[in-house]
Structure 1
Amino acid sequence: MSVNLSGIKGVIFDLDGTLVESRLNFTQMRSDIGCPPDEDILTFVAQITCGKAQDKANDRILQHELNDARCAKWLFTGKQMVDTVHEYGLPMAIVTRNCRAASNIKIANNNIPIDFVLTREDAPAKPDPTALLMVAEKWQLQPKDCLYVGDYIYDQLAAENAGMQWLLV
């Protein structure tokens, strides 16, 4: 896959489904915590008012994510894109809805050469643009000069909300 990087000064990647495969079973996760099928799972958990129930839901999600992280492998297209961006000498970051622990496992197990990683513990989850804007600010770049690469509508919406260019893979 060839990516046109003309005019791009920094590239931010989603993790699951973009750089690495993910076998997260969101249907099972929703079932485990009682989340309706048409509701965003993180939004659902954030709205649980009982602290114990919210902790239990977060623990279930964490277990699913950690199990998935242990077997996640590079996606061919993801590796190609990272290699291309590296050849251009552009800064790279990862913004993911994943938790930090699972993200770290996926990155370490696959030797992904990106150190700047923001997870849902660092900023509101996508489609909220905060994490993308944090990256642009750290790089001292205008959002319009950054490209966000993802695989899901939340990635596109986050990039649009941040005023960034985007690519769905």
Structure 2
Amino acid sequence: MHPILKDIRLISFDLDGTLIDSVPDLAAAVDKVLEELDLPPAGEVKVTRWVGNGAQKLVERALTDALGEPPEVESLEAGHRRFLYHYGRDPGARTRLYPGVCEALDALQAGGRILTLVTNKPYAFIEPILAQFGLERHFALCLGGDSLPQKKPDPAPLLHVAAHFDLPPSTCLMVGDSRHDIAAGRAAGFRTLAVPYGYNHGEPVQNSLPDALIETLKELV
């Protein structure tokens, strides 16, 4: 058992960049939106830097990059709707699990810890993606970016999770790949654990000073 787990009763996982590599599907949906607007494609490299603050922010960043200026509100809303349509057709077509995910979730659940999912991805996409990989059975509660008025890096989703299970935040751990995960965890009073392989706007996640860093989730167990 990794030392970070001592006295931890609940673990909240981020999804994109932590459990799954979803950029190929996200980039495909973004590029469909741009194609409809006769704008150049963004591609996976750019989208990797833009992921982490929810679908609307992703679309805003893509449109700003393609237009050279922030989009009008109406254009952003229309682009967001089209993104949700394209991504929702098959949100897991090109998505893959990161190494060690299944082993870690199986072992942590078997060890009696409560596992939850707290992502900024819209809630509607969580179930089909988890089901595709057989992961839905692991999580006692899932929150999307639209489940509450606030999303990470606001601590509200994590505080909601802790309160839901009547646990003090000091017995909870946030696991993620980005500064938003670490900031939310720290503000909520959770311990924080980072993985370096995900999406963090091109910055090393260790710069956010998580309580611990592991190369794969399998190192947890």
Q: TM range, normalised to the smaller chain?
A: 0.7 to 0.9
Instruction: Indicate the residue corresponding to 2:22 in structure 1.
Output: 22
1:119 aligns with 2:118: no
Aligned residues: 162
Q: CA RMSD in A?
A: 3.0
Contact map agreement 2:114 2:140 (CA 8 A) in 1: no
Contact map agreement 1:19 1:74 (CA 8 A) in 2: yes
1:95-141 deviation per Cα after TM superposition (whole angstroms, max 9, x unaligned): 00111222121111111122411001112221111111100000101
Aligned with 2:173: secondary structure?
strand
Instruction: Indicate the residue corresponding to 1:134 in structure 2.
Output: 160
Aligned with 2:147: secondary structure?
coil
Structure 1: segments with no counterpart, 5+ residues? none
Pick closer, same or farther for the CA change 1:56–1:82 going to 2, 3 Å. Answer: same
Instruction: Report the TM-score when normalising by structure 1.
Output: 0.79
Instruction: Indicate the residue corresponding to 1:8 in structure 2.
Output: 8
Aligned with 1:7: secondary structure?
coil
1:70 aligns with 2:86: no
- CA–CA distance in structure 2, aligned partners of residues 3 and 63 of structure 1: 41
Provide the identity percentage.
26
Q: Which has the larger radius of gyration?
A: 2
Give 2:118's aligned amino acid.
Answer: V
Instruction: Indicate the residue corresponding to 1:155 in structure 2.
Output: 181
Aligned with 1:94: secondary structure?
strand
Give 1:94's aligned amino acid.
Answer: L
Instruction: Indicate the residue corresponding to 1:91 in structure 2.
Output: 114
Pick closer, same or farther for the CA change 1:128–1:49 going to 2, 3 Å. Answer: farther
Aligned with 1:25: secondary structure?
helix
Structure 2: segments with no counterpart, 5+ residues? 40-46, 61-69, 196-221
Instruction: Indicate the residue corresponding to 1:58 in structure 2.
Output: 80
Contact map agreement 1:19 1:77 (CA 8 A) in 2: no
- CA–CA distance in structure 1, aligned partners of residues 175 and 85 of structure 2: 26
Pick closer, same or farther for the CA change 1:7–1:158 going to 2, 3 Å. Answer: same
The structural deviation recorded for 1:161 is 1.4
The structural deviation recorded for 1:152 is 1.1
Contact map agreement 1:15 1:95 (CA 8 A) in 2: yes
Aligned with 1:120: secondary structure?
coil
- CA–CA distance in structure 1, aligned partners of residues 86 and 158 of structure 2: 25
Give 2:177's aligned amino acid.
Answer: D
Instruction: Indicate the residue corresponding to 1:105 in structure 2.
Output: 128
Report the more deviating stretch, 53-62 or 75-84. 53-62
1:18-59 deviation per Cα after TM superposition (whole angstroms, max 9, x unaligned): 112212339x57x9499xx998674585x9884x43431321
